[in-house]
Structure 1
Amino acid sequence: MRSLQAPLLAAALIATTLVLAPGSPGTGPAQAATDSVVLDGVTVHPRRGTRQVVTVRHTRGYHARVTLWALRQRGWVRRMRAADGRIGYGGLVAAGRREQGTGTTPLGTFRLPWAFGTHAKAAGWDLGYRRIRAGDFWVEDNGSRFYNRYRNQRQGGFRWWLPASDENGSERLSDYPVQYEYALVTSFNHRQVRHRGAGIFLHVNGRGATAGCVSAPRWFLRRLLTRLDGARVPVVAIGR
């Protein structure tokens, strides 16, 4: 989702806070990974095997606190935190009630399956990754079967020539070199419900609020890509 931002600096807050996982004292990570848990006030609904969580806790206005957590033998440990995260200019809304073009950020827990950005994939990045090329779009054309999918204009199948102001205009990824220097795709609306919204990412901060994504400082996204492990089934949980 296109952002309205430009980069800002923020200090890294790294801590070792422990939050006990649900269950008995002997409960291990594999057993606890599918139970809901509250981290930094955000209710998280992990997927089977989830051992990494990014929480997004709304603080004020369009600002949010973004935290990476890892599941250890006795509970969830805070690994990295950024105080200067952002949400959409329209605020937060239940995922099932979200509408395209409202600038709202969906509440809930979503997978973080892969990433994209302006750089070549670096050694140590475990998630699937796609480097932005000329003609790459995120499809927001409600008439296309590729709605809410990454696609190049040469492949066709969507009206890439429509302006961004059009309700079916798609997002040319190269138009956002700051925000999409590092970006993580979320599983929001992976079933392609039309007019619900497309392109909800976790990406680099810009100047202000986003148009529905979550963003965090550049340092946070860069470090996050080195830490996320697809085998640990990472998710992002967005809450109030």
Structure 2
Amino acid sequence: MPGRFHTALVLAALIGALGAAPQSTADTAFPLPHLMADTGGGDQLITAVALGPSHTAGTLTWWERRRSGRWARVGSAPARFGTNGLVEGDSRTQGTSTTPSGLYDLPYAFGIEPAPAGTSYPYRPVGADSWWCQDNSSVHYNRWVEPRPADCAPHEAEHLITYPQQYARALVIGFNYAQPVQGRGAGIFLHVDGEGTTAGCVSVPAEAMERILLWADQEEDPHIAIGSATGPLAVTRY
């Protein structure tokens, strides 16, 4: 949601909660979402927390706010991040293999495989002509295109179907999405694990991705908060 405002989740104040194992965090008096300055306004939240700003591994947890107003942990899984760690979303540069920290919406899901039976979240199937444009000169920058338009060079776009493992199922992360800034980055997703670290996305095991898609409810306005367990890195809302 670019241009609205900046909110800070000062991670230094959250080191204890973020650094704890998911089971411990769920049982503390103050689950992580209760410590955040902003959770996006909805009743569903995903937190993706790297061990530190330069780390490539951490934990992804999904939460829901109950009628009492209290956040409860629904599930968690090991997560992977960009090869070069995390960086503030508003200062990220495309092609740096960094994961943008921040609080983002989740516009829709997509995948090469069908959506899990029972999925209610908007889900777009990947076909042979499905591309994600990352060409800074294109009017379609940071958008799904099908077929690929002439102003989006093939070497500056991601042919989604060529990643059968990672894009078996995925959620679009709304980083640099509503009002894209050229050069900041494109194609940041929550997707299934590949063989190692990511080029800037967040990834989880396939089973966890399936569980998240079955849980996610667009009417609950889910968001994802990406940050680290240590250091001054702040979660910034766009």
TM exceeding 0.5: yes
1:186 aligns with 2:165: no
Partner residue of 1:94 out of 83, 88, 95: 88
* DSSP-derived class of the 1:153 partner: coil
Q: Is the 8 A contact 2:115 2:169 kept in 1?
A: no
Unaligned 5+ segments in structure 1 are 1-12, 22-36, 164-168
Query: What residue number does 2:106 align with?
Result: 112
Given the superposition, is the C-alpha separation of residues 199 and 76 from structure 1 closer, same or farther in structure 2, using an over 3 Å criterion?
A: same
The one-letter amino acid of 1:105's match is T
1:67 aligned partner: 61
Name structure 2 gaps, 5 residues minimum.
1-21, 229-238
Asked if 2 retains the 8 angstrom alpha-carbon contact of 1:16 and 1:79, the reply is: no
Relative to its length, the structure with more helix (as a share) is 2
Amino acid at match of 1:158: D
Distance 1:81 1:15, change over 3 A: farther
Match in the other structure for 1:201: 189
CA contact (8 A) 1:20 1:75 kept: no
Report the Cα distance in structure 2 between the residues aligned to 1:160 and 1:91, rounded to whole angstroms.
Answer: 28
Q: Conserved in 2, the CA contact under 8 Å of 1:180 and 1:203?
A: yes
Give SS of 1:223's match.
helix
Tell me how far apart the structure 1 counterparts of residues 141 and 113 of structure 2 sit (CA, whole Å): 25
Deviations 1:40-89 (A, max 9, x none): 98x462233x111110111263101000111011411011011x210001
Which of 195, 198, 214 aligns to 1:226? It is: 214
What is the aligned partner in structure 2 of residue 29 from structure 1? none
Residue 45 of structure 2 corresponds to residue 53 of structure 1? yes
Give the alignment partner of residue 204 of structure 2, picking from 209, 216, 220: 216
Is 2:163 aligned against 1:176? Answer: yes
For residues 124-180 of structure 1, the C-alpha deviation after alignment (integer angstroms, 9 at most, x for no partner) is 2111111000021000011111100001135x243343x3xxxxx110001110000
Question: Could you tell me whether the CA contact under 8 Å between 2:82 and 2:202 is conserved in 1?
Answer: yes
2:128 maps to what in 1?
Answer: 134
CA distance in 1, matches of 2:48, 2:114: 27
Query: What's the CA shift for 1:206?
Result: 1.1
The code of the aligned residue for 1:174 comes to I
TM norm structure 2: 0.79
RMSD over aligned CA atoms reads: 2.3
Matched residue count: 203
Question: How far apart are the structure 2 equivalents of 1:20 and 1:111?
Answer: 27
Q: 1:55 to 1:69 in 2, by over 3 A?
A: same
Following the alignment from structure 1 to structure 2, what is the Cα–Cα distance between the partners of residues 112 and 150?
14
Cα distance in 1 for partners of 2:27, 2:227 equals: 20
Compute the displacement of 1:234 (Å): 0.4
Q: 1:154-213: per-residue Cα shift (whole Å, max 9, x none)?
A: 5x243343x3xxxxx110001110000010001100111001000110000111110000
The share of aligned pairs that are identical, in percent, is 38
Q: Which amino acid aligns with 1:115?
A: A
